[in-house]
Structure formats: structure tokens, C-alpha cells
Structure 1
Amino acid sequence: MYFTKPAFTLFIILVVISVNIKAQYIKENLIQKGEEEILKSNYTGAILILNQEIEKNTGNHLPYFLRGLAKKELGDNIGAFNDFSTTINLHPGFSKAYYYRCIQKIDFKDFYSALTDINKAISYNVTNSDYYIARGYLYNVLKDTTNAMHDFNTAIFLNGNNSNAYLNKSLLEIDMKQYDKALININKSIGISPFNLYSFVIRGFIELNNKDSLGAKEDYEFVIAKDSTHILAYYNLALYYHNQKNYEKALFNYNKVISLNPYHSVCYYNRAALFAEKEKYVEAMNDYDHVIKINPLNIYAYYNRAIVKQYLSDYRGALADFSKVIELYPKFQKAYILRSNIYMQLKNYADAEKDRKLANYIYNASSDTLNFNKSDSVYLIPLLDFRSESQAMDTSEGHLQYKSFQIMLKASYTLIPDNSNYSINEYNEQIDLLNQNKNVNLKIRMDNIDSKLSYGNIAESKTLLDSLSPKNKIFIVSNCLWNVILSGLLKNYNEALYFVSQIPDSSEFSYLSSFLKGNLYLKLGEQEENIEFNNPFVESKPSTGINNNYNLAITEFSTSIIKNRKFSYAYFNRAYAKSSINDISGAIVDYSSCIYFSKTNGEAYYNRGLLYIFIGDRENACSDFSKAGELGVAEAYSLLYKYCK
């Protein structure tokens, strides 16, 4: 019987240091307020507060450290790593910064460098039990079980109430197949920290290996009763039922996992195996497709899908999948054997013989292979656990491309009327002049969100402008610009284009008029595509007259930039227009220019990150999502979780 082995995991507790407020700080200083927001789990709010402190005082290590903690909790491992590194540069003796940077390096699988950091942390503080737990984990990853056990015992000696020390020691004993000892230590962990539901999942696994299947089932169900969203409990309960051949309940729990996490590739993999066992090959094929879409380097998914295709008599499809397996892992001996069989069925005897010889050579020459036996039997690779996802499948390096996903770019900027006090204007001189117009009872600001004013408010102001004489409507530039803005909001684009064409190039508003004209062409392009203003950027776009509006928009934004080369919003909008015609490299350059002139524009980082994902550059994408989150774009953290873990 196959049981999933829980991934050996380092458990840490977020430790927010108690900041000793010095006398020179005012009572409610920004560091203290940021720490309070972290304690309230308002991590995005904490980051925005700490950003203010960092801007005021770049030499203080504490706001960087606290911001790193907040980013870590939001899943921004890159941002957290950078902040902990800055903390160390500013305060080389700060042990907690080494500890948390070690944790980030573990997430990056940079284990030897992580070991250097945790040794540094211990050298500055030899009595912190959490540091020994982290080092014990690293020793176990590096196959040094003796030193791993020594560090877990040291952690327990230093703090006998540290539940994580017992938990991690139990996980090490599971690795060593010492299940009786593991059960003792996991029970100690639960006794100290009965609210850590993960410990009950671990105990369930131990109980299964001690032939106490009822106890395991009770632990999994206990966890689910306490937390109906606990993915690991549902996943292990699904495997329990799967091994019991109770397919109906196994399927229910697999479905629950996928409903909670639609990107859980291992669950799709195991559900596919269930469908295959029930001879539901089409459903199995669909699930293997999902696995490969999420993780294109999963060799087992290609291998199993090839077998399912054989059952469906799709021999050429199976041939392609076995070839992909061999491309990703050339030592996969069984794949050569099965591909040889398909070549035989397709009467390609030469390639069949070549594969047969290669399979025999691999079998006899190397122990570092994914061998099963030398037979021609066809069977699926068994169920996978979480560890298999990272250790057994990703056998080659490469960038992932997510071109099957739609990505939602942040919308282009424009001038919108809004009577709120909120403003992100960077070009206040011209905008203030517009706001002084006595013929309009509205104020204007630059933004990329919809106006909060009603259609009636906008129409009323447009009526006031329309009551002016033709001469005043056109020759007073401020009135003319207001007509452009309001007509555009009322979707009278041709009227808006008429008014914008009346603004002379000599006007101080000239760069704004070109900018607004570009926005009108953007709107016309989107209108022809029959999509919403904040449109999803997809791989293919129509290529006829629609693109012409985008090209006209690009021309106008370029004109605005010529008139004011530091006008960051024009670069942003030109990038948006370029992405709409699939000029991805040009869009990336323009978002970079926007960032150069406006380093706090989080949405430019966000959009550029999405385009990096589109072209398969995850490293730069994740860096941009990290910066976007730091600058207040909350959606960036979900993308960090999706693409950067």
C-alpha cells in the first residue's frame, strides 16, 4: 500500500521583535505603527507605513527588517530576502536578520548559503532554539542526519516547550523510518501546541505506517473539522481512501483540494491516476493536461499521459509524450522501451531497434536512472507526494511560459473628474490650471481608475460647457480640454477628438492634449474589440482596423513624450497600447521608462512583471511583482504566490 510521505518542512514562527522606542522618537512613530500592523496581520498596511520611515531614514535597520517580515508573510520571498540583506548591511550583528534570510534561502533551495547564514545567527546568539531547528533542517536536507538530530536535541535542551523542535525531530525520525519514536515526539509537539493542525496531519501519516489506519483517518477528519480549508488534510485523506480503493470518497477529497487550490498539480496527477484505475481515460488525460500546463517539466505526467494515450489508441500522441520524457530525462530507461514498442506498431523498425539498444545500454551502464525492469509491461507510475513534485519531476532547467493564461494589465492613465481630496498628480501646474476653471464645478486628477462621479455629475458639467459660446468653448484652452475629458467620459469620442484637435501645439497644455488624444484612440480600439476598459491581455489580437487605433494611440503618446520627455504617464500608456498589438518588447521598454521617471509607480512594475511572465522571464517578473507589492499593489502578492514560489 502506498502512503504519501509529508514533505520534510521547517516550521518557524513569525517573531516580531519588540522595538525599544528611544526617547527621541515621538509617541506614535512609524516603526511602532508598522510593527503594530504586522501584529494585526495587516501586512500590506505595515509595508506602506514602513516605506515612509525608510524614506525618512535610510540608515535605520529596523524598518527594513520589519518590512521583510511583512513581505515574507505575503509570500514575497524576493522582497523579504532583499530587506533582510539590507538589514544585515546596516547592522551586521543582528542575528534575527541572518535567521530570516536563511529561511528565504531555504525557499530558494540555496541550502549551503543558508547554512552559512544560520551559523552566523548562532554565533551572535547561541541560546535561541529556533536557530538550531533551522540548522537541523538544513543538515537533514544535506543528508547529515547525525548533526540534524544533534541540533534538534539542542533546541529541545534550550527550550523544552518549543513544539517545533519536537515536530521537526519527528519528521527526521519519519525519514529514518523510526515511526515509534516519531509518534512520541509528534505527541509531545501536539501536547505543547494543540492548535498546530499540521502536527495532526503528521501524526496521521505516522499512524498509517504503524498500521493504525483508523487513527490516521480520525486525525485527518479532526483537522478538517477544525479548518475546512486545510488542503493537506484533504489531500492525505484522499490518498487514504485511494489506497483503500474507496474511489468515491477519494475523488470527493481530491476535488476539494482542487477547489481550494486550482494549481495543485500533484492532486491533478493523483486524481488522473484514480480515473485511469477506473478506466476513465478521457478524464485522466484532462488531468494530466492540467499537470503539464502547471508544471511543464513534470516527466511523470508526460509518461503517464503517454500510457493513457495508448489505451485510447492515440499512438502518435503517445510517441510525442514518450519523446518529451526522454528529452527532459535522457536516462529514463522505461520510456525508451515503451517508445520502441510504439515504433514497432507504426512499423518504424529502425527507430524501434535503436530505442531497444539504448534502453539496454542505460539499464546496464548506469544506476542513476528511472528504471523499473527490462520488461515491456505498461503501467502507470504510482501516486505522488508533495516531495515528489520538487525532487523527482523537475529534472531539467528552463523558463516556464504561461501563454495559455489570460493576464489582466492595470489600465492606462487619464485625467478624470473627482471631487475627493485624493490625488496622485505629478504635473500639478497644468492640472491646477484646469481645476481653476470656473465654468466647471468639478476637479481633475490623473489616475487609472474609473471616476467615482455619477453619469449625472459629468453630464451636468458638460451641459455647463455646452452653454458657452462656440468661441469660448474652443479658444479658451482650459474649456477645450475639459470638453475633451467630459466628452470622452460620456463616450462621445468623435466629439472629444474634435475638441482635442483645436488645441494649438504652442499651448502649455500641448503635451496633455496629445496624451488625451492617445487615450481616445485607445478607447476606440477597445470599443471595436468589444472589451472593457481594463482589458485582459491575451495572446492573440485581431489584426485589421482595430490595430490601427492602437497605432494612432502610440503615435500620440510618442508626440506627448517628445513635448515632455519626463511625462511618465505617456510612457505607461504607450506601453499599454503596444501590449495590445503584441509588441511585448516595446511595451517592456516603455514600462521601464515610466519607472525611470516615476520610481514609485507600482502599477508599472506590476504590468511589466506580467509581460515578463508572458515571455517566460520569471526572474524579472518576480522581482517586479515584489516591488509592485512593496509600492501598494496588493494583487501582486497573489501573482508572487502563483508564479514565484
Structure 2
Amino acid sequence: MIILHPVYYGRMRKSLLILLFFVSLGGVHKASAQLDKHYFFYVGRSYIIDNKFRDAIETLNVLLKVDEKAYEGYFLRGIAKYNLDDLLGAEQDFSYAIENNPVFTAAYQYRAITRSRLGNYDDALKDFQVAIDLRPDRPDPYFSRGVTFLLSQQFEKAVEDFTTFIRFDNKVVDAYVNRGTSYLMMKDTTRAYEDYNTAIRTNRESPLAYSRRGMLYMAQKKYDEALADFDKSIECDSTYIPSYFNRALVYSTINRPVQAIEDFSRVLALDSTSSLTYFNRAILRNQIGDYNNALADYDKVAFYSPNNVLLYYNRAALYRQLGDYYAAINDYTRAIELYPDFANAYLGRSALRYMLNDMQGSRSDKETADKKIAEYRSKLTDSSFSVYADTSKRFNQLLSFDASMGGSEGMQRMTARSSNIALLPMFKFSMVRPDTVPVRTVYFVPRVEQFRTEVADPYVKLVNRDSDFPTDSLFAFDRAIEDSLRYNRPSWQLLFKRGITQSLIRQYTGSISNYTAAIDLDPSNPFLYINRSTTQSEMVDFISSIDNGYQRITVDNDPASQLKSNSSRSYNYDDAIADLNKAARLFPEFAYIYYNRANLLCRSGRIPEALEDYTKAIELNPSFAEAYYNRGLVQIFLKDTRKGCLDMSKAGELGLQDAYRVLKLYGNMLQEE
């Protein structure tokens, strides 16, 4: 398989921007006394042209809040979301545009592009057909549909669409390259070669055209010609990863491992998360005797692709060379866990167990391997027979550019990983500098403002982040309030503020005592319970962190993994939840109570209840970005990636920028659902 996503999406993104200059302003020309809608449309479009997609979304939100029928506003916001990798949000906005203008050709086209990226080829092709029926004179839908036909392996139809597009515009390199690739998939190498040549004649500075022709030469074992094309591709664009990668494969094939390693290193300088490249470089370093660096590369593969069977098998062999038999056995065991029918892994572990005088374990592994080999031989005609079943296969061969790494994505779909995407924190009253409180959609609650007036401290704000005051200032605040309590009659206001300062300097017991005293003086005040709850939670977290089991819900490497604690111990949030239950009875309309309780329910493993509380918080405050974010994160954990990404999309739309980082990391999983 030849991966075409860079060609497809590169051109699609350019088309999205180019089209902006031709979009009609008809739906938003009318001004109103309250808002100049034309102005907001123009500003939103300008932001998109300048690649300021988040600013565009915020601007277009204003327009769409005033005019829910402004179909071109939805269209532009869909473009902005698309460029932020919020594919579900983009699809939704293009659909809104179509609902409000059923003959909006561009919306059909770009919804089709988005659906194609999501792997929904059937609906994408239907949208392309509508766009072509509405405007058969426009060339772009033919190009886009051609790529979708190519991705869905309908190669003859792809050729037809690219040919139609070329009749409209014969100066587009990508069209020739993609038609050439379609011919190649049809085994017509002559026409593929002709199209690649035409692409190069059309633009002699196109790295893609040289790279594709080089790949064809490489497949035909014309290595000198392939190297010349990869050299030219890199000369045209020194950051073009595929040419470095494929040139490294050629160097390896013609026994020039040092040059191959240099090219793989250049790839990693451009994309430090490519496990496929680390894997290949590890193999070459092992071949030339650079064992320690090879081991370091395999460790990188383990970090970026922890389910890669070949990693553990190959690293086990390297450990064996280095004399670390126990580490080798562990890796063979991990390979067997991932692929229980891996006969070679049993044979490797058997040999090592024999060397360590574990005769029973060695004999058991050998018997298992012999049994599986016999099963493999009986299934050699089975079309579903796995390559791992071929016990004569060499597992230290370099993997090609479109290879899959143990069930994860190939190099084109590699994304940066994060092991530190956690639930956003709970809200509490804390002490922060007034000019540093983030400004987003305001959730104005009169009762909160009345409470702050009664507390009478400009630094006390409702936030879900740490205080930005330095530690010495926090201690000074705490001493000042302590003095006030010593010389004045205690009030719930002073006790509440002392609770805040004690919590900020991690005097959790003292903080809880002060909140309790405040509650005794004003037992019907819900905000006192909210803060005591967050402090109780922080105390639990602090204790568990000392015990090396900091309990929080994080998205590790696989968002489909189960919600679980990193510790074998469990910590009790019951008192903190009880305080929020009390606050909810006193102030049932306050969204933050349900958001906080949902966080604690998540940490307690009560996921269904947590989802209900996040939903309740959103019902009370439809602009609650953090609640959408956390609910989305939990749904991703529960393997409901589509719903989770929709919630992330909404969080990003509401101004929470971290949502786009999650969408970028996990949006590609939608195609696999």
C-alpha cells in the first residue's frame, strides 16, 4: 500500500484557504443594530487566511450566536476546525451550513473531504456527487473524489476523476502523481511512470513528484535512478521526510549502512516521534555493532509503540548478544503476550532458559513452539495466515515507509504522544492576582458575586488552577489573617480566607479545621462546603503522592485503556463527595458543584455517575468548556472515541485550547472505530 494522505490533505488544506476568496457573502450582508455581521464574517475569514484558526472560531461564535442561520459562518468555522484536526466538529459545522443552505456546493465538498479523512468513504462519495451535480463545471470536487476513490481502492474510478480534473487544469502536479499512483495500484507501471514524468515536467521543483518516481525505481530495483530522484527531491525540499526515509532504505539495500543511518537520523531530527524510524535505525546500528545505541533506539520504539511485537523480539536478541539473558527472556515473554502464536519467540526463550538451567521451562517452550510450527504448516494455504507464523521469516528486515508498527499507525500517521493528559482540576475559591484570571465565556452567577462581596477580598476568585502568588506572599497572607483572628472575633469570612491560605501552603488539616469552623457559623453557605471538599481532595492526593500512588485519571499511551489508578492502594474521597452532596442540596443550580463531584467520582471509579454529573454541569452551564473536556476525556477512556472527540470539539469551540491537543492525539482513532 502507498500512503497518499500528505498529497491529499496538503492540497485539501490549500483548497480550503483558496476557496475563501470566492465564498459569497450573501448570507451575512445584512447588518443589524446590535451587530455588524458582515464585519465578523470578514474578520473570521481573515483569521483563517492568516492561519489563526482559534481566533477565527471565537470570532465566528459571536456571529453565529446572533444569527443561527448564517450558513457561511458555519462553513468558515468548519474550515477552522478542520485545520485544527477537529474533524467531527468540522463535519458538524459543514452539516449546519448545508441545513441552512441545501445548495451550498462548497459545504458538500468539504464535508466530503472531512468524511473521507474520517474513513467514511461511502457518505463522502455521496457528498461529492451532490457537489458535482450542483456545479459540474468546478474542477476541485473531481480531484477530491479521485483521492477518496483511491483511498477506498476504487482505482479505475480514481483514474477517471483525476483525468477529468486534468482536463480542467493541467498544471497541478498532485493530479498527475495521484493518477500515476492509481495506475501503479492497477499494476500499470508504464502509465504510472508516464504520469510521474509529466508531474516532474509540470513542476521541476516538486519534491513529491521526484519522490514518487524514486519509489517506483526502488520497487524496480533501479537503485541508482532511485537515489538520483530522492537526491533531487531533497534538493527541492530539505524537510521532505519521505525522501530521506526511502533513500535510507536504498542505502541499506546496497549495503551502505552508515549513509542509511545518517538519513534515518535526519528523519528523526524532523520528526522525533517516528517509532518506525527508530526501529529501522536500531536494526542497522545492531548490524554494524553499535549495540548500545541500537538498544537506545529500541527503547524509543517501546515508548512510542508499546504494542509492537517485533520490537520485543528483536530487542530480546540484542539483549542476548549483550549477555543480559533475563532481560531477553522478559522481552520474549512480552512478545508472546502480544502474539501468543509467535513460535520463534518460544524458541528464543527456550534456548535462553536452557542456558540458565531452567530445563523444565526450556522443554515446555520447545514443545509449544513445535506444536505451533506444525499448526502453521497445515495452514500455509490460508489467506489469513499471519507473517508472524512463518518461522523462517527474518524479523530484522527494515520496514518500509507505509509499514504498520505492531498494530499502531505507520510513519505518516505518527503523532506526538503524551502520558500527561489529565482531567482538568476542580474549581475552588483561591487567591490569585486579578489580572491573571483567564477570560473566556463568562458564567455569571449573582450568588457567587454576592459571596465574593461578603468575603471582601479582591484576590479571592473562583478558579481551577494554582495560585500565582509566590510562596512567601502566601505565608504573609496567612500570618496576617491569623493575626486578625487572634485579635478579632472570628467570622466565617476570616475563617474561610484562613482556610484558603492554609490550603495554599499545604497545611491541609488546619485548612479543613478553619472551613469547619466557618461552616459552624454559616451552615447554609454552599461555597464553604465546596472549598472544604476541594481541600479534602487535595489532602488525599497529597498523601497518595507521598505513597507513590498519586491517584488521577490520565490518558496514557492508549486512550482505550481502562480507567485505573497507578497505585495498588485505594484512597477515600467519600468525605469530599459528601461535602459536595451538601452543597448541591443548598445550591442545586450551581454547575461547578456537579463538575467537581464528577471529578471525584472518576477518581473513585464511579464512572457512570461521573458522566451524569458532567452532563448535569453542562445542562446548567452550556458554555462549560472544562466539563465538555473532562466528559470527553472519560468517553475516550471508555472507547467511545467519537463522542469523546465531539465533546473535545465543543470544548475547543468554547475557547479551551488544550482540547485541540487531545483532538490531534486521538482524532485519527476515529477512522478505526
Instruction: Report the TM-score when normalising by structure 2.
Output: 0.78
Distance (whole Å) between structure 2 residues aligned to residue 571 and residue 373 of structure 1: 52
Does the Cα contact within 8 Å between 2:29 and 2:38 map onto a contact in 1? no
- Counterpart check, 1:215 vs 2:228: yes
Q: Is the contact between residue 67 and residue 83 of structure 1 (CA under 8 Å) also seen in structure 2? A: yes
Q: Deviations over 1:548-574 (max 9, x none)?
A: 5x4432332232223223322223223
The answer to whether the 8 A contact 2:544-2:571 is kept is no
Contact 1:186 1:202 (C-alpha < 8 Å) held by counterparts:
no
Residue type at the aligned position of 1:431? V
Specify the alignment match of 2:359 in structure 1.
none
Q: Separation in 2 of the partners of 1:186 and 1:575? A: 56
Q: CA deviation at 1:473?
A: 5.1
* Native 8 Å contact 1:303 1:321 kept in 2: yes
Separation in 1, partners of 2:305, 2:318:
19
Amino acid at match of 1:574: R
Separation (CA, whole Å) in 1 of partners of 2:24 and 2:418: 47
Q: Which runs of structure 2 are paired with 1:451-490 in the superposition (5 Å)?
A: 451-453=467-469, 465=481, 468=484, 474-475=490-491, 477-490=492-505
- Quote the Cα distance in structure 1 between the aligned partners of 2:349 and 2:633: 41
| Structure 2 partner of 1:20 | 25
Q: Is it true that 1:547 corresponds to 2:557 in the alignment?
A: no
Find the aligned partners of 1:32 and 1:553 in 2 and give their Cα distance. Answer: 49
Q: For residue 185 of structure 1, what is the aligned residue in structure 2?
A: 198
**Aligned with residue 355 of structure 1, among 372, 376, 382:** 372
Alignment of 1:1-150 (within 5 A): 7=4, 9-10=7-8, 11-12=11-12, 13-15=14-16, 16-17=19-20, 18-20=23-25, 22-25=28-31, 26=36, 29-150=39-160
Q: Is 1:387 the counterpart of 2:390 in the alignment?
A: no
Partner of 1:330 in structure 2? none
Choose the corresponding residue for 1:235, options 235, 242, 245: 245
CA–CA distance in 2 between the matches of 1:220 and 1:93? 42
SS of structure 2 residue aligned to 1:114: helix
1:522 alignment counterpart: 537
Say if 1:294 and 1:456 are closer, same or farther in 2 by CA, change over 3 A: closer
Q: Deviations over 1:487-539 (max 9, x none)?
A: 4335454443333223347848611000011122233234435589x997565
2:646 to 600, 611, 623: 623
Q: 1:571 to 1:287 in 2, by over 3 A?
A: farther
CA contact 1:61–1:91 (8 Å) conserved in 2: yes
Post-superposition offset of 1:343: 7.7
Cα distance change on mapping 1:508 and 1:155 into 2, 3 Å: farther
Tell me the SS of whatever aligns to 2:462: strand
Measure how far apart 1:373 and its partner are.
Answer: 11
- Report the equivalent of 2:177: 167
Aligned to 2:462: 446
Larger deviation, residues 256-265 vs 118-127: 256-265
Question: Are the structure 2 counterparts of residues 283 and 447 from structure 1 closer, same or farther at C-alpha, using a change threshold of 3 Å?
Answer: same
Q: Equivalent residue for 2:453? A: 436
C-alpha spacing 1:638/1:188, structure 2 compared with 1 (3 Å): farther
Equivalent residue, structure 1, for 2:413: none
**In structure 1, what is the equivalent of residue 667 of structure 2?**
644
> For residues 592 and 262 of structure 1, do their structure 2 counterparts lie closer, same or farther at Cα, with a shift above 3 Å needed?
farther
Q: Give unpaired runs (5+ residues) of structure 2.
A: 355-361, 410-415, 555-563, 669-673
* TM score, norm. by length of structure 1: 0.81
C-alpha spacing 1:199/1:628, structure 2 compared with 1 (3 Å): farther
Q: Deviations over 1:141-183 (max 9, x none)?
A: 3444333222212111112333432332233344442353133
Is contact 2:86–2:660 with CA below 8 Å preserved after alignment?
yes
CA distance in 2, matches of 1:126, 1:508: 71
Matched-pair contact (CA < 8 Å) for 1:425–1:445: no
- How far off its partner does 1:39 sit? 0.9
Corresponding residue number in structure 2 for 1:321 = 335
Change in 2 beyond 3 A, CA 1:143/1:615: closer
Structure 1 residues 389 and 90 mapped into 2: Cα distance closer, same or farther (>3 Å)? farther
Q: Distance in 2 between matches of 1:429 and 1:310?
A: 69
In the superposition, relative to structure 1, how do residues 206 and 245 fare at CA in structure 2: closer, same or farther (>3 Å)? same
Name the residue aligned to 1:411.
425
CA contact 2:428–2:463 (8 Å) conserved in 1: yes
Change (3 A) 1:161 1:296: same
Do 1:337 and 1:355's aligned partners in 2 also have CA atoms closer than 8 Å? no
Equivalent-residue separation in structure 1 for 2:422 and 2:508 (angstroms) = 24
Post-superposition offset of 1:380? 1.8
Deviation at 1:626, TM superposition (A): 2.4
Name which of 588, 602, 605 aligns with 1:565: 588
Residue identity over aligned pairs, in percent, reads 22
**CA apart distance, 1:578:** 4.2
Deviations 1:188-215 (A, max 9, x none): 4535xx4x65445435435655542442
Compare 59-68 and 555-564 and name the one that shifted more: 555-564
- Partner of residue 202 from structure 1, selected from 202, 212, 222: 212
Secondary structure of residue in 1 paired with 2:430: strand
Q: Which residue of 2 aligns with 1:600?
A: 623
Summarize the Cα distance change of 1:92–1:343 in structure 2 as closer, same or farther, 3 Å threshold: farther
Q: Are the aligned partners of 2:279 and 2:298 in contact in 1 as well (CA < 8 Å)?
A: yes
Deviations along 1:105-141, one digit per CA (max 9) or x if unpaired, are 2222222332222112111111222211122223333
